[in-house]
Amino acid sequence: MSKSTKIALATAITAVIAFLGAYLVDLNTDIGDGGTTTTTAAPSTTLVPSTTTATPTTTPPTSSTTTPAPTTTATTPILNLPRIPWEGGPDYYKQFPNAADWANPNLFPIGTWCGAYDNDAEVQYDKAHGLNFYTGCIQPATQFGPLTRNGMYWVGNKVNDTFDPASRNWPGLFLGDEIDGKGQAGLAEMQAAKDAAAGQNKFTYTNYTDMVIGPDMPDAMQSQYVNTFADVTSLDMYWYTTDFCGRPNYRGGLYDVPIPQGSCRTASSYGKTMEALWAKDGLDGQRKPLWQFIELLNGSGGGYFVANMTPAQVKGAAMASVINEARGIVWFQQSFSGNCVTSQVIRATQLRHVTCADGQVAAMGEVNNQIQRLASVINTQSYQWSFGSGLDTMLKAKDGSAYIFAMTENGGTGDRTLTLPAGVNGATVEVVDENRTIPVSGGKFTDTFAAENTYRIYKVTL
- Condensed to tens digits (0 to 9), the pLDDT of residues 99-156 reads 999 999 999 999 999 999 999 999 999 999 999 999 999 999 999 999 999 999 999 9
399 and 354 co-located in one domain: no
Contact 256, 213 (CB under 8 A): yes
Q: How far apart are CA 48 and CA 64, in angstroms?
A: 36
pLDDT for position 74:
55
Q: For the stretch 27-45, what's the b/e string if a residue is b when 16 or more beta carbons lie within 10 angstroms of its beta carbon?
A: eebebbbbbbbeeebebbb
44: pLDDT strictly greater than 70: no
355 and 397 co-located in one domain: no
Sorting pLDDT into bands at 50, 70 and 90, what band is 77?
Answer: confident
181 and 143 co-located in one domain: yes
In a domain, 72, yes or no: yes
What is the domain range of residue 418? 391-461
80 and 210 co-located in one domain: yes
Sorting pLDDT into bands at 50, 70 and 90, what band is 178?
Answer: very high
pLDDT for position 75:
66
Per cent of the chain over pLDDT 90 is 82
265 and 412 co-located in one domain: no
* pLDDT, tens only, 314-325: 999 999 999 999
Phi, psi of 149, rounded to the nearest 5 degrees: -75, -20
In a domain, 1, yes or no: no
In a domain, 398, yes or no: yes
Helix axes 358-373, 311-323, angle to 10 degrees: 30
How does the average pLDDT of the chain come out, rounded?
A: 87
Tell me which of 352, 378, 404 is where a domain ends: 378
CATH number at residue 211: 3.20.20
Least-confidence region, from 48-52, 170-174, 225-229, 336-340: 48-52
Which residues partner with 235 through β-bridges? 208, 292
Which residues partner with 437 through β-bridges? 430
249 and 327 co-located in one domain: yes
58 and 172 co-located in one domain: yes
404 and 349 co-located in one domain: no
Read off the pTM: 0.86
In a domain, 131, yes or no: yes
In a domain, 386, yes or no: no
371 and 397 co-located in one domain: no
The pLDDT of 347-366, averaged and rounded, is 97
Domain count, the chain: 2
Least-confidence region, from 4-18, 106-120, 224-238: 4-18
Sorting pLDDT into bands at 50, 70 and 90, what band is 302?
Answer: confident
Per cent of the chain over pLDDT 70 is 84
319 and 398 co-located in one domain: no
In a domain, 140, yes or no: yes
233: pLDDT strictly greater than 60: yes
Nearest to 318 by CA among 110, 7, 11: 110
Q: Which residue has the higher pLDDT, 396 or 49?
A: 396
CA torsion angle 450 322 274 207 (round to 10):
130
Tell me which of 378, 402, 423 is where a domain ends: 378
331: pLDDT strictly greater than 90: yes
253 and 128 co-located in one domain: yes
CATH number at residue 455: 2.60.40.1180
Please state, as a whole number, how many other Cβ atoms lie within 10 Å of the Cβ of residue 419: 14
332 and 246 co-located in one domain: yes
The pLDDT of 377-397, averaged and rounded, is 98
63: pLDDT strictly greater than 80: no
